[in-house]
Structure 1
Amino acid sequence: MIFDTHLHLIDQSALRYPWLSGVPALNRDFSHDEYAVQARRAGIEGALHMEVDVGPADIEAETSHVKALSQQKDNLLRGAIASCRPEEPDFAAYLERQKANPFVKGFRRVLHVMPDELSEGALFRENIKRLAGTGLTFDLVVLPHQIPKAIALADLAPGVQFVLDHCGVPDIKGSSEHPWREHMAEIARRPNVVGKISGVVAYADAGSWTVETLRSYVEHTIECFGWDRVVWGSDWPVCTLGGGLATWVAATHALLAGASVDEREKLLSANAKRLWRL
């Protein structure tokens, strides 16, 4: 069975998503019920909701909305990676509120579409350090040239558990592996960073990618981090841009064909359950 560490749900009647107007293929509702049908067919037993970069005023409302969904019968949601703004002065108070909510398992601040210097701000870095000792993780979503910025955060906050999303967002469509390959090896040297095998189908050419297109990127990520420090995510519904959930699950199984039963179990579920105490 698979545990999905990267599920996005979109409900435009409840929350605002400013960025969706620029992505017509995703600019609609994507419900838990729609996901659950596909997920159960693919062997997914549970999921963490990943924040969807809602409007700043809706950040806490998003977490509350997803938590309410999780309490419905036969729901797959087991927790949330909540949005946050470490660059803002009210982060400390926000963190205290989230620490009191066991449904929140970690945080993410989208960085790959933001100026590089955002994560270099003194307040941002000081607030990231506040996560040390809380048991709450911080997901990093950065472009290959921004991975050194992520490395700097990991070094500045060794007591914080980071998760590098989407295999470091490689340019698969452009067949580019450098400097991504070198940067991945370097960030993986930090024991407080875990690699997430997710998102890659959306970075490949939707009409022509095959398992072999993805192989060097996925295998390099696993090789760098090792089987004890990798987790799996669907990145649904973004994965629909590259074939959909069932296609990504099938590709994952094909990529793991040479792994042992123990190695597959670690990547697909055991590491996630241990990391987030599920």
Structure 2
Amino acid sequence: MIVDTHLHLIYRDRLSYPWLSSVPPLDADFTQDLYAREARRLGIVAALHMEVDVAESDIARETDMVKALSGEEGSLLVGAIAACRPESPDFPAYLETVLANPFVRGFRRVLHVMPDDLSEGALFRENIKRLAGTGLNFDLCVLPHQIDKAIALADLAPDVSFVLDHCGVPDIKGGGFDVWKGPVTEIARRPNMTVKLSGIPAYGSENWTLEDLKPYFAHVAESFGFERMVWGSDWPVCTLGGGLSTWIGATQALLSGVSLEEKRRVFSENARRLWKL
């Protein structure tokens, strides 16, 4: 059974998504019902909603919407990873509000489309350290050249659990293995870092094959081991690389030589432990 740790839901009539217009294939409604119809057939039994970089004024509304959706009959939603702005002086008050809402299991601040120095600000770093002892994890979506920024955060806040989204966003289509490999090796040395096996089909060419993904999977598996790896669909972004069924099939193939216990860790057990599901 599979726990999906990276599900995006898009409801354009309820929230504002400023970035959608720049990605026409995703500028549509991607609803819970649409996802669940396919997900249940594939063995997904639970899902964490990942924030979708809504307009800042809609951050709290997004969490409220997802929580309401989780109450619908047959929902797979078991929690939310909420958006946040650690660079804001309002973050401590926001954190207190979130701590009163057990549906929220962690935070993410999108960094891969932001200036490289955003996470280097004193206020940003001070607020990240506030997560220690809260039980809330922090997802990091960074480009390969930004992984050193993620390493700095992990070192700064050793008592905070971090998750490296999408295997560190390798440029598979452009053959970026060598640029990506070293930083991933280095960040994996941090015991408070987990890697998320997600997103990579969208980084390959239009006609990517399993052989294209294998070196990247092999390296994160060697670097992190299967005790610090979780699986995520990155739906609907995964539709840019073949879709949910294709990604699950590819994951099963990548894990074909792995023990049943290690598969269980990747697909569900690590996620249940990390987010206390």
TM-score (normalizing by structure 2): 0.99
Q: Secondary structure at the match of 1:48?
A: strand
Q: How much does 1:223 deviate? A: 1.2
Amino acid paired to 1:145: H
Give runs of aligned pairs for residues 227-246 of structure 1, distance below 5 A: 227-246=226-245
Q: How much does 1:41 deviate? A: 1.0
The alignment status of 1:270 with 2:273, answered yes or no, reads no
Counterpart in 1 of 2:50? 50
Q: How much does 1:67 deviate? A: 0.1
Counterpart in 2 of 1:226? 225
In the alignment, the residues of structure 2 paired with residue 102 and residue 251 of structure 1 have an alpha-carbon distance, to the nearest angstrom, of 33
Give runs of aligned pairs for residues 26-175 of structure 1, distance below 5 A: 26-175=26-175
The alignment status of 1:247 with 2:268, answered yes or no, reads no
Q: Secondary structure at the match of 2:78?
A: strand
Unaligned runs of 5+ in 1: none
Q: How much does 1:42 deviate? A: 1.0
Q: How much does 1:2 deviate? A: 0.8
Counterpart in 2 of 1:24? 24
Q: How much does 1:176 deviate? A: 1.3
Counterpart in 1 of 2:213? 214
Q: Secondary structure at the match of 1:15?
A: coil
Listed one character per residue, the Cα deviations across residues 127-174 of structure 1 (whole Å, up to 9, x for unaligned) are: 000000000000000000000000000000001000000000000001
Q: How much does 1:179 deviate? A: 2.4
In the alignment, the residues of structure 1 paired with residue 154 and residue 65 of structure 2 have an alpha-carbon distance, to the nearest angstrom, of 31
Counterpart in 1 of 2:190? 190
In the alignment, the residues of structure 2 paired with residue 176 and residue 50 of structure 1 have an alpha-carbon distance, to the nearest angstrom, of 26
Listed one character per residue, the Cα deviations across residues 197-248 of structure 1 (whole Å, up to 9, x for unaligned) are: 0000000012x11111101111211111111100000000000000000000
Listed one character per residue, the Cα deviations across residues 56-114 of structure 1 (whole Å, up to 9, x for unaligned) are: 00000000000000011110000000000000000000000000100000000000000
In the alignment, the residues of structure 1 paired with residue 137 and residue 169 of structure 2 have an alpha-carbon distance, to the nearest angstrom, of 19
In the alignment, the residues of structure 2 paired with residue 30 and residue 224 of structure 1 have an alpha-carbon distance, to the nearest angstrom, of 34
In the alignment, the residues of structure 2 paired with residue 29 and residue 223 of structure 1 have an alpha-carbon distance, to the nearest angstrom, of 38
In the alignment, the residues of structure 2 paired with residue 179 and residue 210 of structure 1 have an alpha-carbon distance, to the nearest angstrom, of 21
In the alignment, the residues of structure 1 paired with residue 95 and residue 65 of structure 2 have an alpha-carbon distance, to the nearest angstrom, of 18
Q: CA RMSD in A?
A: 0.5
Unaligned runs of 5+ in 2: none
